[in-house]
Chain A
Amino acid sequence: MLGIPQFKLGGGTLGRALLAAMIAVGLHAEENPLDLPRLMQIMAGAETREAAFIERKTMSLLAEPLVSSGILRYRRPDYVERMTTTPSQERFVYDNGQITIEADGRERKIQAKDQPSLVALIESIRATLAGDEASLRRHFELRLTGTRVNWLLEMTPRHETLGERVAHIRVSGRDDQLRQFEIKEVSGDQTLMTISPLRR
């Protein structure tokens, strides 16, 4: 896939910019609505991914949102890593059913399989990245809107335990890149993760 060419506006380059924009539009001619199998197919194309994230957690307990940032890594089909670097360090790895959390120099391992709501939560991001439609459908009611360059996938938990806490999860993106990942809780608390790709 082509990225978006960078160019400056003004300085007599407007004409070229317009041209480039037209080419870009032409390349992404699929302005018509995107369907789920197609999105899944696009997502499944990436072997590895690496992206920076900024996460804002808004909760009723706190006066201000909690902000943290770090790097997300993904490797087909079952490896998801979330490395928080600021304000404190933490490494969360989901690898084929096994969760490992490293923080404060200690390492904890958890079997995800035994906790269905945890599995569902992890699948919301892993299955999206992997293009695993079956798994997404197993855990969530799905609603996809938008186009290939600006899509939004809304997931409502099927699992009772998760549904008690999570109202919905919204993932938005452009092509095969995630842009935003949002968890809206029943209580009104919200986790919003903004994602910007580092490399492919």
Chain B
Amino acid sequence: MPKRQVIIAAWLACLFLGLYGLVTHTRVVTDLTAFLPQAASQQQQILISQLQQGPAARLVLVALDGAAPDALASASNALARRLVSDEHFDFVANGSVELEARDYSWLFRHRYLLSRAVTAERFAGGGLRHVLDRTRERLRTSSGDLIKPLVARDPTGEFLEVLAATDYRGGPGSRHGVWFDRSGTRALLLLETRAPALAIEAQEAVRQSIERAFTASAQPGVRITLAGPAMYAIESRKLIERESLTFTLIAVSCIVTLLAWVYRNLGLMLLVFVPAASGIVAAVVLVSVSKGAIHGITLAFAVTLLGEAVDYPSYLLLQARPGLPLSAAAREIWPTLRLAVLTTLAGGVAMLFSSIQGLMQLGLLGAIGVTVAGLVNRWVVPAIAPHQRPVLPQYWKAPTWLRRVLRPRRGLVGALAFMAAASLTITHFGWQDDLGALNPLPNSLKQRDQELRNEFGAPDVRLLIAYPASDVEHALRGSERLRPALDALVQSKVIAGYEMAADFLPSQETQRARLAALPNSARLQIELREAAKAAGFRVEALAPFLDEIEQARRLAPISLDDISDRPWRLRADALLAYGSEGVSALVALRGVADAQALAARMPELAPALLIDLKKDAGELVASYRQQVLVYTSAGLLLITLLLVSHLRSAASTLLVIIPPVLAVLCTVAALSALGEKLTLFHLVALLLVLGIGINYALFFNRPSSDRVFFSLLVCCATTLIGFGSIAFSSIPVLHGIGLTSVIGAGLSFLFSAWFSQASADQSAAE
């Protein structure tokens, strides 16, 4: 049979080509942000750029516990000393004095570049007199003794100005000279990795390096905990790998047992996976070749969507009449199966037009995968099938109780759907608009992260002002110009305070202006003599001040590179958002008392923008969700049109379309009743439910027999086992997909049976 050999040869060739492409050309990226919509507003762009490359993502928070505080403190110092010389880290801090002393001396040396107070007036005449008066009054206070040693060199108090601006606000408290948490039981360290957060392999090396340093400097009893996005990326990958493996093993062994009972032949069992596997290989290779890379989550979702394709061979093998050649059976079942494939295609095809990269990829993967699986099932499966045919369906009879359960009950379907709809209108229906929910991390890890962040006083800023510009220098300049308005807002108690990158790194323009404001030695000497006397200082005691100003005049403006190994570099970086069109300087607002008054002032500050991180992130997810809903509705319309054109009857179309749609409705109601908030994962799983449900409805409405009924039972059982197992996962993605699919597939099956024309009564008659 040459035709058969041609088909096999072509399939094998394609498969090898695909596997070759899979090995050589497939690059899986794990960047979650591909699943965010193309940012519509500038606010959203800044938000996304922060998510993608904010330096906060490269932070590793280290906690040491399990021993007495002094032992923890020395462990912290030992670890910090080792890590400082480790090339994996840009920055290491544990709050110890040794590390801070050099930072303070650097700040002191550069105080005339960094202090906002530096102006020409401050160093001459009445201005100088005024500052010296203030310094004298500071000396009088109870903290006067602390500043006294610096006054001779810095009588205008610039260092204090700088400290006030760069103060590590809200940093952890220190005990025994290093950072400790509030309870005093954990010593804390802060590291910044050189590698990007999402470079998982590099971050794995970072983690090992920390653990080596910890082991080398170990103290008895001391335990180490690592937190931070990069560490969680590693942990979550491990967890996902581990859980996926466990659940896959459980699911596969259950499914294999079931299929072994059904088919009683290894070849037939393997055959079941051929269409879906071929579809996945083809889809992954084509997508990664055409798009350059494939997104990790997209891949997972696509495999989920193609879960439907595992059913195709079962429909074929189990429904084929005994004695009929498999190729003939495949031809016979093809119209229905083709419709199943086409409806699935229609459900996903709308996603191809999505502006969300990940969603578009998902649509493409699903479309290619299901098409290839359908074609393979039509031509390749009959060609490579062993001669044996499944025996069980030929004598299997539906037990009476099952027939009774699956008797048509349209009233019940209607009642359930009505109850679901009613419960959805009554109860508050929860969409998960928190961006964090898209994070595939288990909740326990997220909590640990949040807890450590709180200990570090890491800013959890909600409101930001962004000043967009073409480069860093212009962004810094622009943000500096916002200061008078911001100071006025502080004054009128609209906000409690603010922080900007220019606090740590003033623009070059500003720094040059400050340098120019410093008087030369001769001039300063004259000014100082008069002002010091008037302010009650002894002029000769302030002689070191003249040298300090002379030295400062010779300094070059500092750049981002100059502060690369300083603790405030992190905060400067965190307040600069790099986007595709330039850089935005961010102003973090503290203690916003009157958001409306703030918003009202914003037009005057243009082009600066107000960003509400939580609201904008919520809007982002909401707009994304809207897109999914629109595309799903479009898909549903397309499915209906397809069914009408194929079935050529409005009544049969309704029979096919109503059960799965009502099943989806009831699934949403059930999820809502279980307290689940709907996310992306649930929505994708609902698409799968729709696809599977339509298949059930199509087959339930075919001229029925026990064989058809049996094949449907087998398909439904494999789906329930496969997705039921992952519903128990602690990872939100897997849990969401699993739970939704199990409820949805189960309901689809029941509804299709209860709603069908032919159904179990006829099969009983057969």
Contacts and interface: CB of A to CB of B under 8 A. Distances in A.
Interface of A: 57, 59-64, 66, 68, 82, 84, 87-88, 90, 92, 101, 103, 111, 113-114, 165, 189
B117 interface: no
Given A82-B142, A90-B142, A114-B175, A60 B137 contact: no
Range of interface residues on chain B? Answer: 20 to 34
Nearest to A121: B145
9 contacts: A57-B144, A61-B542, A62-B139, A62-B541, A84-B141, A90-B141, A92-B142, A114-B173, A189-B148
A61 B140 contact: no
Interface string B532-560: 01001110011000000000000000000
A86 B474 CA distance: 47
A92 B173 CA distance: 21
A57 B140 contact: yes
B455 to A, nearest CB: 15
Interface string B716-743: 0000000000000000000000000000
Interface in B157-207: 173-177
Contacts of B137: 88
A166 B173 CA distance: 27
A61 B541 contact: yes
B538 A62 contact: yes
B175 A113 contact: yes
B123 to A, nearest CB: 18
Given A66-B136, A113-B175, A114-B174, A61 B537 contact: yes
B139 A60 contact: no
Contacts of A68: 140
A62 B536 contact: yes
Interface in B625-670: none
Interface of B: 136-137, 139-144, 148-149, 151-152, 173-177, 533, 536-538, 541-542
B257 to A, nearest CB: 64
B140 A66 contact: yes
Given A61-B151, A62-B538, A88 B174 contact: no
Contacts, number: 53
Contacts of B538: 60-63
A59 B151 CA distance: 11
Given A59-B139, A61-B152, A88-B140, A111 B173 contact: yes
Given A60-B541, A101-B143, 14 more contacts: A57-B139, A59-B139, A59-B148, A61-B139, A62-B136, A62-B139, A62-B541, A64-B536, A66-B136, A68-B140, A88-B137, A88-B140, A103-B141, A113-B175
10 cross-chain pairs, A with B, having the tightest CB-CB distances, nearest first: A92-B142, A66-B140, A61-B541, A114-B174, A63-B538, A90-B141, A63-B536, A68-B140, A62-B536, A60-B541
Q: Which of B136, B141, B149 has most chain A Cβ within 10 Å?
A: B141
Contacts of A87: 140
A153 to B, nearest CB: 21
Nearest to B178: A114
By CB atoms of chain A within 10 A, which of B142, B144, B151, B174 has the most? B142
Contacts of B141: 84, 88, 90, 103
Contacts of A165: 149
A114 B541 contact: no
A68 B549 CA distance: 32
Nearest to A90: B141
Contact of A61 (B143, B148, B174, B533): B148
Contacts of B152: 61
Nearest to B142: A92
A68 B139 CA distance: 11
A64 B152 CA distance: 16
A87 B174 CA distance: 35
Contacts of A101: 142-143
B414 to A, nearest CB: 66
B139 A66 contact: yes
A143 to B, nearest CB: 23
A62 B143 contact: no
A25 B257 CA distance: 107
Contacts of A92: 142
Contacts of A114: 173-177
A118 B140 CA distance: 17
Contacts of A57: 139-140, 144
Contacts of B541: 60-62
Interface centre among A61, A62, A87, A165 (most CB of B within 10 A): A61
Contacts of B177: 114
Contacts of B176: 114
A103 B142 CA distance: 10
A90 B143 CA distance: 10
B172 to A, nearest CB: 11
A65 B144 CA distance: 14
A189 B177 CA distance: 29
A199 to B, nearest CB: 23
B661 to A, nearest CB: 61
Contacts of B175: 113-114
A187 B98 CA distance: 26
A62 B534 CA distance: 11
A139 B137 CA distance: 30
A92 B143 CA distance: 9
A29 to B, nearest CB: 40
Nearest to A60: B541
Contacts of B140: 57, 66, 68, 87-88
A57 B536 CA distance: 13
A163 to B, nearest CB: 15
Nearest to B151: A61
Contacts of A64: 536
A62 B148 CA distance: 11
A181 to B, nearest CB: 13
A63 B144 CA distance: 17
A108 B144 CA distance: 14
Contacts of A62: 136, 139, 536-538, 541
